[in-house]
Structure 1
Amino acid sequence: MHLPELLADLDDVPSDLHEEAVFDAFVAWAADQGLSLYPAQEEAVLEVAAGSHVVLATPTGSGKSLVALGAHFSAMARGVRSYYTAPIKALVSEKFFALCTVFGAENVGMLTGDASVNPHAPIVCATAEIVANIALREGADADIGQVVMDEFHYYSDPDRGWAWQVPLIELPDTQFLLMSATLGDVDWLLEDLRRRTGRESTLVGGTDRPVPLSFDYVLAGVQETVELLIRDGKAPAYIVHFTQASA
């Protein structure tokens, strides 16, 4: 079942119970997929459903992508357009197809520097610079009710950080879910968001890593290493190359 199909069941829910109903519907859907939310995921999805800005600073492998799904679902339930942003076009494209599977292709679009697919959909995947340019061009009038910013630590990047900074400044009525596994003290950010938007801002963090992380330094080639991972039951594997040529 696509997530938007659950929205019809929320039509008759009283307004004072709507946020809780959205959260319960998402948790029930996740359970149908065989997924049980971790405490940090539950807290983050509930805060987003309540309308707060959320800084999600949990370790890699702790399920930030599932929280993003909950955020997009919450935005659809409120009838506002949400954007997913990331620094790399390949990641934006990957997320586009993943969201199509969950929300249906008719409800998901994509905008990058060289591609435009269903751009008026209720959920749009875009590179960070695309959203920043919309924010600069349209400001508070932009049709952006929510932004999910992946890899938010790019905020401090000397060259590209502006694309993460501008939307926070130019979209005062937009809700933000800011996600990264490598953030330091963000109290200043939470206070700034509260002051400028009048919206509650919450940090959801933690150091528990639900998926164990191990390190190995090997001299074997990629193909042989993958064969060893499969043999040892460590597949599927996600392989990253430094250049497109080496990939």
Structure 2
Amino acid sequence: MIDAFQARLPWPLDPFQIEAIEKLEAHQGVLVSAPTSSGKTVIADYAVLRALETDTRAIYTTPLKALSNQKFRDYRRQHGEGYVGLVTGENTINPLAPVVVMTTEILRNLIYEDPQRLDRVRYVILDEIHYIDDFPRGAVWEEIIIQAPGHIKFIGLSATISNFQEVAEWMTLQRGDVATVSVTRRPVELRLWLAMRNDFFPLLDHQGGIPRET
């Protein structure tokens, strides 16, 4: 399955992406910590595709309506309007679709109010899972992880989670086997520039020093 997924992509999968996907194929949940723009969402994309291929469902949650709206547009463009839905406090579009993007609070409410709608859900993706440390919203993430039906596998994604191992151990206590995948290297180097006098100047050189021209 990984080879087939790789064939759909115009670039090679990074080792951490392959590792996380292998954990999913081993029927584990997975908690992923990786820098911004390093490709964490490719792991979620794989889970969404597997749900579609196996006639199950996937729910993708974000903490913000704007993020949910963007992810809804992305997945609808990739998979087609009939396969992707959106539920936020403002919009409800195709809520029974195989793939539904929603805000985290919406999923928490769904677990309590209509849990049968989760019977065919294979994966729940918790994007920006570091919000679990937020007060007071973090309780929503905790409730979801504790109360969601046991057959669901969780995929937690974050670039900034500080207590990564602690959260992973707690999730394992609640959900069974949750694997961890952590990477600190950026696949694309982050460069800082100073805009001044209609020109751009690098703030740091490759050794981390300040270039003479700056």
Q: What secondary structure, in the 3-state scheme, does the structure 1 residue paired with 2:187 have? A: coil
Say if 2:28 is the partner of 1:49: no
Hey, what does 1:133 align to over in structure 2?
A: 109
Q: Distance in 1 between matches of 2:112 and 2:193?
A: 45
Deviation at 1:175, TM superposition (A): 0.7
Say if 2:80 is the partner of 1:101: no
Percent same amino acid among aligned pairs?
33
Hey, what does 1:92 align to over in structure 2?
A: 68
Hey, what does 1:181 align to over in structure 2?
A: 159
Change (3 A) 1:217 1:152: farther
> 1:29 is matched with which residue: 5, 8, 29?
8
Q: What secondary structure, in the 3-state scheme, does the structure 1 residue paired with 2:12 have? A: coil
RMSD of aligned Cα (Å)? 2.3
Name the TM-score, length of structure 2 as normaliser: 0.83
Change (3 A) 1:92 1:141: closer
Say if 2:184 is the partner of 1:207: yes
Q: Distance in 2 between matches of 1:196 and 1:141?
A: 21
Q: Distance in 2 between matches of 1:50 and 1:25?
A: 17
Q: What secondary structure, in the 3-state scheme, does the structure 2 residue paired with 1:145 have? A: strand
Q: What secondary structure, in the 3-state scheme, does the structure 2 residue paired with 1:69 have? A: helix
Aligned residues: 199
Higher strand share goes to which structure? 2
> 2:56 is matched with which residue: 73, 80, 87?
80
Cα deviation, 1:65-105, whole Å, max 9, x if unaligned, reads 21110111122233321111111111111111111122122
User: CA contact under 8 A between 2:145 and 2:175: conserved in structure 1?
Assistant: no
Hey, what does 1:165 align to over in structure 2?
A: 142
Change (3 A) 1:217 1:137: farther
Change (3 A) 1:120 1:212: same
Q: Distance in 1 between matches of 2:68 and 2:159?
A: 18
Higher helix share goes to which structure? 1
Q: Distance in 2 between matches of 1:140 and 1:197?
A: 19
Name the TM-score, length of structure 1 as normaliser: 0.73
Q: Distance in 2 between matches of 1:96 and 1:139?
A: 22
> 2:128 is matched with which residue: 144, 151, 161?
151
Q: Distance in 1 between matches of 2:196 and 2:92?
A: 41
User: CA contact under 8 A between 2:30 and 2:154: conserved in structure 1?
Assistant: yes
Unpaired runs of 5+ residues, structure 1, are: 1-21, 230-247
Deviation at 1:197, TM superposition (A): 2.8
